[in-house]
């Protein structure tokens, strides 16, 4: 059985999956259900002194595993979280991370009470990039539990913010929050999907999240909770290969139900077995050295397996230069003089029959 344990800021997690902040972690009932489903850690819905009142509606599915939302922070006040909704450590064998927003003054007021109520870590989150480092500094003065800071792809100077937060004492980074503002219009009514601009999460943001995780990990030896668009076990592996120490997820279990955790963990073990990896943590950062290599200009060579080819013709259709063809007897033909080595044909092959041969 492969070992899925990871370490985050000195705390061992039984697997890499963390339920990120959002509606599923709305209360003690939500966090307990996520623990029971297999999440190794849960980040609460963001806690502020006053409860928010969300517009109706405020979440819409976009198809293909993505969501738009206009949800604010927790609709329970901080007092209630501290008194009733942060289950005591004795009551659970999983790690509870309290999400705290959105200003330095709120951190001064709430960091210590949340830690004293039982949070194993804090995750600080703000809409304003300039507030992130002062929030970290305030939290580090108030608590001894590890402090994560959540960063947003909306911040143009994101890497400078990360650096300032690390200088202020952050123990780890969560990357990324949902991004936007974004817009979809319901063409039947002519109205914006959620009545306004909204925040995008899920599959649509995964490549952006991966790039940001990798950029942080290339510069800093710091634990990063890679968050954004993870939907399958292979996405968990990809996030770890980009450098993530653990993996945050919200959209996938929100759309598919909390059973997503069990299914994904089983598939993750299967994937590691199939690829002969005994430890998930061995894969951490595997992609990073390749990001520092210069781009290759050597023409591509291809491997073709006639047994796997279903003659679907996709590789032929996508070639802008008409360099590829299939012969009537199923042989793959390539006009090498016309081929520009773009690689698209192999990347669309659904069966792996056509592959770019690695150097
Ligand atoms: C409906 C919804 C509400 C969210 N609320 C919060 C929140 O209160 N605080 C926060 O830090 N992130 C919040 N997030 C962002 C998620 O924690 C996560 O960073 C983001 O959705 C990317 O991960 P995903 O693609 O796996 O959902 C919310 C996301 C969704 C979809
Ligand atoms: S690599 Fe690009 S140019 Fe060459 S055959 Fe494939 S799709 Fe066409
Ligand atoms: S895309 Fe793959 S399966 Fe389809 S014709 Fe090309 S090689 Fe065969």
Report pLDDT for 156.
93
**Nearest CA residue ID for atom 4, ligand 2:** 339
Q: Into how many domains does the chain fold?
A: 2
Query: Rounded to two decimals, what is the model's pTM?
Result: 0.96
The token pair that represents 328 in the structure block: 């009537």
- Is 322 within the bounds of a domain? yes
For residues 217 and 244, membership in a common domain is answered with: yes
For residues 243 and 319, membership in a common domain is answered with: no
Distance 352 CA to ligand 3 centre (A): 8
Per the structure, the complete domain to which residue 300 belongs is given by 294-359
For residues 325 and 208, membership in a common domain is answered with: no
- Is 68 within the bounds of a domain? yes
For residues 196 and 313, membership in a common domain is answered with: no
Distance 312 CA to ligand 3 centre (A): 5
**Which parts of the chain sit beneath pLDDT 50?**
none
Q: Is 125 in the pocket of ligand 1 (CB under 6 A)?
A: yes
Report pLDDT for 94.
87
Q: Is 310 in the pocket of ligand 3 (CB under 6 A)?
A: yes
CATH number for the domain harbouring residue 321: 3.30.70.20
Please say which residue of 261, 290, 319 terminates a domain: 290
For residues 64 and 113, membership in a common domain is answered with: yes
Please say which residue of 290, 310, 326 terminates a domain: 290
Q: Which of 332, 335, 344, 357 to mutate to test the pocket of ligand 2 (most atoms within 8 A of CB)?
A: 344
Q: What is the DSSP string of 79-129?
A: HHIIIIIS--GGG-SSEEEEEEES-HHHHHHHHHHHHHTT-SEEEEE-S-H
For residues 211 and 318, membership in a common domain is answered with: no
**pLDDT tens digit sequence for 309-324:** 999 999 999 999 999 9
For residues 340 and 270, membership in a common domain is answered with: no
For residues 343 and 198, membership in a common domain is answered with: no
CATH number for the domain harbouring residue 140: 3.20.20.70
For residues 246 and 319, membership in a common domain is answered with: no
Report pLDDT for 263.
98
For residues 142 and 271, membership in a common domain is answered with: yes
Q: From CA 261, how far away is CA 295, in angstroms rounded?
A: 37
For residues 243 and 144, membership in a common domain is answered with: yes
Report pLDDT for 88.
67
How distant, in Å, are the alpha carbons of 321, 330, 339 from that of 324? Answer: 8, 12, 8
For residues 229 and 253, the answer to whether their CB atoms sit within 8 Å is: no
Q: Is 332 in the pocket of ligand 2 (CB under 6 A)?
A: no
Q: From CA 269, how far away is CA 251, in angstroms rounded?
A: 22
Report pLDDT for 90.
62
- Is 326 within the bounds of a domain? yes
Report pLDDT for 358.
83
Report pLDDT for 89.
63
Q: Is 133 in the pocket of ligand 3 (CB under 6 A)?
A: no
For residues 318 and 270, membership in a common domain is answered with: no
């Amino acid at each position: 059985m492969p070992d899925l344990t990871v370490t985050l800021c000195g705390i061992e997690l039984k697997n890499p999956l963390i339920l990120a902040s959002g509606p599923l972690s709305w209360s003690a009932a939500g966090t307990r259900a996520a623990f029971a489903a297999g999440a190794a850690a849960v980040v609460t819905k963001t806690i502020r002194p006053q409860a928010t009142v969300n517009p109706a509606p405020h979440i819409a599915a976009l198809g293909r595993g993505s969501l738009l939302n206009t949800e604010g922070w927790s609709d329970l006040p901080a007092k209630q979280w501290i008194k009733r909704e942060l289950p005591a450590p004795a009551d659970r064998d999983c790690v509870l991370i309290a999400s705290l927003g959105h200003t330095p003054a709120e951190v001064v007021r709430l960091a210590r009470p949340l830690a004293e109520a039982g949070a194993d870590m804090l995750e600080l989150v703000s809409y304003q990039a300039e507030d992130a480092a002062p929030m970290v500094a305030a939290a580090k003065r108030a608590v001894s539990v590890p402090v994560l800071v959540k960063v947003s792809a909306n911040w143009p100077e994101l890497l400078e913010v990360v650096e300032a937060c690390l200088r202020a004492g952050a123990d780890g980074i969560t990357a990324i929050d949902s991004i936007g503002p974004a817009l979809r219009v319901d063409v039947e009514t002519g109205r914006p999907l959620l009545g306004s601009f909204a925040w995008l999460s899920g599959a649509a943001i995964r490549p952006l999240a991966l790039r940001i995780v990798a950029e942080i990990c290339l510069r800093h030896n710091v634990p990063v909770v890679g968050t954004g668009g993870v939907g399958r076990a292979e996405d968990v592996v990809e996030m770890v290969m980009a450098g993530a120490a653990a993996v945050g997820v919200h959209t996938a279990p929100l759309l598919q139900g909390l059973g997503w955790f069990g299914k994904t963990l089983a598939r993750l073990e299967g994937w590691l077995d199939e690829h002969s990896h005994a430890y998930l943590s061995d894969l951490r950062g595997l992609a990073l050295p390749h990001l520092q290599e210069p781009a290759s200009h050597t023409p591509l060579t291809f491997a073709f397996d006639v047994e796997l080819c279903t003659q679907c013709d996709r590789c032929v259709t996508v070639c802008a230069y008409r360099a590829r063809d299939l012969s009537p007897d199923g042989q793959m033909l390539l006009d090498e003089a016309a081929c520009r080595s773009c690689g698209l044909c192999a990347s669309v092959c659904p069966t792996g029959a056509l592959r770019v041969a690695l150097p």
